[in-house]
Amino acid sequence: MIQGKDIIIVGQQPWDVEIGSNCKNIALEFSKHNRVLYVNSPLDRVSLLKGSSDPKIIKRNNVIKQKEPGLIQLSSNMWNLFPDTIIESINWIQFHPIFKYFNRINNQRFANSILKAAKELGFKDYILFNDNDMFRSFHLKEMIKPKLSIYYSRDYMLAVDYWKRHGEKLEPALIADSDLCVANSTYLADYCKQYNPYSYYVGQGCELDLFMQFTATDMPEDLQNIPGFKLGYVGALIGLRLDINLLVELAKAKPAWSIVLVGPEDELFAQSELHRLSNVYFLGSKSPQLLPNYIGSFDICLNPQVVSQVTIGNYPRKIDEYLAMGKPVVATSTPFMEAVFSEHTYLANSVQEYVSLIEIALKENSPIKADQRKAFAATHTWENSVGEIYKAIEKHL
């Protein structure tokens, strides 16, 4: 365990983001035994112009105008910084040397704001933890001079056009320049090792209490009239990440089975053939507190992800949520799923394998297997994941 250190965290997601965030969970775990400064991304020029009525933009602009304090104490060991500077929106610049010139200016503005807060808090010999922020934080190791710099890889960002344009040059250089890299999947750890030999797989924590403490209740009303075996998926329905064609073929192959999809859908899903199939049910978004009720009512839980650069390195948190409730899971096979989840899930490469594995999963399900799944999911805690980060840090301090 690392104790009594000062840690500065920068990354993609600000503290006031509504969705779940790996980085926020890691920060909270760090703060149990260390002082933590969690730095929000600085306000950029285009966001200010487009979102002038957004309360979050107003807050950041007020900090820049010195109408509000930018440094806020969240707990005895943690502070959140709203940078008192604005950066230029430069990703539209295609000529890389010009982008690099302005990116350095943005980095210096960002670094100056961080240094002021660190001085105010009396931070010394601090550790810099960078959550996938390859542009705004590219020069921070040089500019704020941490005792140790860590790059955290939790998504393959270069699969997205926004990051790919300049990230193909900057991210490998940033990984190589960092003292060490940690990743939440074996795929991303191997990716980082191409540029930095001090790259480690540290796993992933999940907030599973809601699922592990669930006790059976009545089936949700909108599930009660759905016939047959219920194959369920809970989460955002995004065509870039989920295999719509696989779901269509599965529904057609087994019309007596019901496929239940719980979550908001994007345009690809909204316009898909799935809406024309009588055994596919879209139930829409549900509050997080209700999700265990739906998962608990499924006979089989699904994760039919597309295998692509966008998804191949992802840690699928929903698998842990399914397993925490003891549910049998049939999912698309990926190298990471094979490496981490193969003993507790059924992994398929085709519609035919999905059909046969669903039948096997239904036949093999038992209270003993359910308890084994729950016990396995219970090992994926933020305490354990951050413990692995601490081990990596101890090797380098």
Give the CATH number, domain containing residue 169.
Answer: 3.40.50.2000
Q: Kindly state whether residue 263 falls inside one of the protein's structural domains.
A: yes
Sequence-ordered alpha helix ranges (H) in the chain: 22-30, 45-50, 55-64, 96-121, 140-144, 161-177, 186-193, 209-212, 244-253, 267-270, 291-297, 317-324, 335-340, 351-364, 367-377, 382-396
Range(s) of the domain holding residue 190: 6-205+381-396
Distances (CA, A) of 131 to 21, 26, 40, 148, 252: 10, 10, 11, 14, 42
198 and 297 share a domain? Answer: no
Q: Determine if residue 145 is left, alpha or beta; phi over 0 gives left, psi from -120 to 50 gives alpha, anything else beta.
A: left
pLDDT band at 207 (very low <50, low <70, confident <90, very high): confident
Q: How confident is the model at residue 370 (pLDDT cuts 50, 70, 90)?
A: very high
- In this structure, are 40 and 177 located in the same domain? yes
Q: What is the mean pLDDT of the chain?
A: 94
**Same structural domain for residues 201 and 237?**
no
Domain identity same for 242 and 176:
no
Q: Are residues 287 and 327 in the same domain?
A: yes
- Judge if 120 and 253 occupy the same domain: no
How far is it, in rounded angstroms, from Cα 102 to Cα 222? 53
Residue 288 lies in a domain: yes
For the CA atoms of 109, 114, 115, 119, the dihedral, rounded to the nearest 10 degrees, stands at: 150
* pLDDT digits 0-9 by tens, 295-325: 999 999 999 999 887 777 778 889 999 999 9
Q: Are residues 102 and 244 part of one domain?
A: no
Terminal C-alpha separation, the chain: 12
pLDDT digits (tens, 9 = 90+) for 24-81: 999 999 999 999 999 999 999 999 998 778 899 999 999 999 999 999 999 999 999 9
Tell me, yes or no, whether 178 and 321 share the same domain: no
* Assigned domain for 54 exists: yes
Q: Is residue 1 part of a domain?
A: no
Least confident of 158-162, 367-371, 390-394: 158-162
More confident residue, 345 or 397: 345
Count of domains for the chain: 2
Structure tokens at 316: 């699928």
pLDDT at 184 over 80: yes
